[in-house]
Amino acid sequence: MTGSKYLKLCTAASIAALSVSLAGCGSTDAKQSGNGESNAAGDVTLEFTQWWEPELPDNALRGLMDEFEEQNPGIKVKLLSGPYASTREQIVAGAAAGTMSDVVGLDGAWVNDFAKQGAIANLSEMMEKKGYDASKLVSQVKVDDQTYSIPVTNFVYPLFVNDGLLEKAGIKEAPKTRTDFMKTAQAVSDENTKGWALPLSLEAPNGIQNDVMSWVWASGGSMLKDGKPYLEGNKDVEEVVQYIKDLSDQDLIAPGALTMKEQDKVEEFTNGRVAMMIDSLAHVNLIRENNPDLKFSLAPIPAKDGYDGKRGMPFASWGVGISATSKHPDEAWKLVEFLLSKDVNAKLCDAANAFPGNTDSEPQFVKKDEILASAFEIWKEGTPANEFTGLPVAEQLMREFDESFQKILSEGGDIPSMLKTVQASWTQNF
């Protein structure tokens, strides 16, 4: 089964839970300079703000933009690129000021807020106006049954394993259960190396989604019931919080977790200072580029002992939207449609090591790379899971959980009481 066909089947029921939070590791910060412009010759310049370019091979995104410009004479694309966190800040500032770029990369966790704010365009209306066949889309991120973002690429979040560190500790395979994971972390940890990296920065709290709740989803658990917060009395969540605290108490987690961001986690793994991390396929290229000699592999996130059901597989997407204040919405839509066209979407997915947003696209990377082929098998064998996407103020929910969780890790306390408090704060936002 191709990646696109499998995704279409697997995500149909979980599309409201698409996200994530995908952190970036790049260089140049995006600068918000208002939306698109026209020059004296009548050419239109579209601004496209995203965090994707730094995570792609050199010139990959620019090359696609050049291809778009060749196909659409009179339209130019100005890329505004930066790391995930700073890109989000720039887009938030643009939304507040009415200067959001014409086309923007969107994390699923941002969409509800921007849509309610009136900052991003209703793509359902635009697709109907343009006669676009939405059945070709693997997924759509909706608010009140209207599409505001379309995932262009989809990334699985498996367990990254430093094979060299495990071999040095006498461990022959990646951990399959929480007990295995604990023993592996104990075996590899010393004063220079730790078993796991956990990013809990409040500035970019997506670690709650990708690195904490992923343990819940991996064993078939949920943080919601009937679409509402379900933390109080939830044994699945309670057990995960206790498990991570146990890892922390045994000094098995990389130092600086409370301020660590996702790009910091990737750096710790790349430099061989942690043996394991939960992370996006988007960073495979980056790891290889920065440490070509690193021997690593991918595995499903370990499940709780005795669990034999399908693993919930955390995943995130690079979504795309259009500013509600764009002066060039028709041209902006052309760019969105271009990114989701069959051949272009396949090219972008090949460059990003991602699964496609177009049901007909067939990227070749899973056929050429052993590590990425294993990621595809992990994806096929699991169930896509991300319950934050589409929730109101998703990042605020993550941050509220993060604040209370940090206190548990640093000061101790009663976990059921902590979850009761977080549920009360979450409920106010639903």
One domain for residues 112 and 20 = yes
Domain boundary among 328, 344, 373: 373
User: How would residue 103 be classed by pLDDT, with cut points 50, 70 and 90?
Assistant: very high
Determine the distance from the C-alpha atom of residue 289 to the mean position of all C-alpha atoms in its chain, rounded to a whole number.
21
- Specify the range with the lowest mean pLDDT, choosing from 123-127, 182-186, 231-235, 367-371: 367-371
Residue 382 forms part of a structural domain: no
Is the pLDDT at 122 greater than 60? The verdict is yes
Please give the average per-residue pLDDT across 189-203, as a whole number.
Answer: 97
Residue 353 forms part of a structural domain: yes
User: How would residue 182 be classed by pLDDT, with cut points 50, 70 and 90?
Assistant: very high
One domain for residues 191 and 276 = yes
d(C-alpha 154, C-alpha 319), whole Å: 9
- Specify the range with the lowest mean pLDDT, choosing from 87-96, 106-115, 183-192, 208-217: 106-115
One domain for residues 302 and 332 = no
Residue 378 forms part of a structural domain: no
Residue 68 forms part of a structural domain: yes
One domain for residues 56 and 77 = yes
- Structural domain harbouring 225: 159-313+388-427
One domain for residues 152 and 163 = no
Which residue intervals of 19-83 are DSSP H helices? 60-71
Domain boundary among 329, 346, 373: 373
What's the CATH number where 403 sits?
3.40.190.10
Is the pLDDT at 33 greater than 50? The verdict is no
Identify any residues that bridge with 314 across adjacent strands, giving them in sequence order. Answer: 385
**What does the mean pLDDT of the chain come to?**
89
Residue 256 forms part of a structural domain: yes
User: How would residue 11 be classed by pLDDT, with cut points 50, 70 and 90?
Assistant: very low
Distances (CA, A) of 254 to 95, 199, 308: 36, 9, 30
- On whether the CB atoms of residues 181 and 300 are closer than 8 A, the answer is no
159 φ/ψ angles, rounded to the nearest 5 degrees: -90, 120
- On whether the CB atoms of residues 123 and 295 are closer than 8 A, the answer is no
Is the pLDDT at 14 greater than 60? The verdict is no
At residue 178, the pLDDT reads 98
Burial tier of 131 (Cβ tally within 10 Å: 0-12, 13-18, 19+): exposed
Residue 383 forms part of a structural domain: no
One domain for residues 409 and 272 = yes
% of residues, the chain, pLDDT over 70: 90
One domain for residues 222 and 300 = yes
- Specify the range with the lowest mean pLDDT, choosing from 39-48, 187-196, 378-387: 39-48
Identify any residues that bridge with 161 across adjacent strands, giving them in sequence order. Answer: 276, 297
One domain for residues 205 and 335 = no
42 φ/ψ angles, rounded to the nearest 5 degrees: 95, 0
At residue 202, the pLDDT reads 96
Residue 151 forms part of a structural domain: yes
One domain for residues 12 and 69 = yes
- On whether the CB atoms of residues 148 and 123 are closer than 8 A, the answer is yes
Q: What is the pTM of this model?
A: 0.74
One domain for residues 45 and 119 = yes
Residue 380 forms part of a structural domain: no
- On whether the CB atoms of residues 316 and 280 are closer than 8 A, the answer is yes
Helices and strands (H and E) in the chain: how many: 18, 15
How many other CB atoms sit within 10 Å of the CB of residue 327? 15
Q: Which two tokens stand for residue 395?
A: 């990042």
- What letter represents residue 245's amino acid? K
Is the pLDDT at 189 greater than 60? The verdict is yes
Q: How many domains does the chain contain in total?
A: 2
User: How would residue 39 be classed by pLDDT, with cut points 50, 70 and 90?
Assistant: low
d(C-alpha 31, C-alpha 86), whole Å: 9
Where does 157-265 show beta strands of DSSP type E? Answer: 159-162, 194-196, 224-225, 228-229
One domain for residues 124 and 169 = no
One domain for residues 113 and 261 = no
Identify any residues that bridge with 323 across adjacent strands, giving them in sequence order. Answer: 120
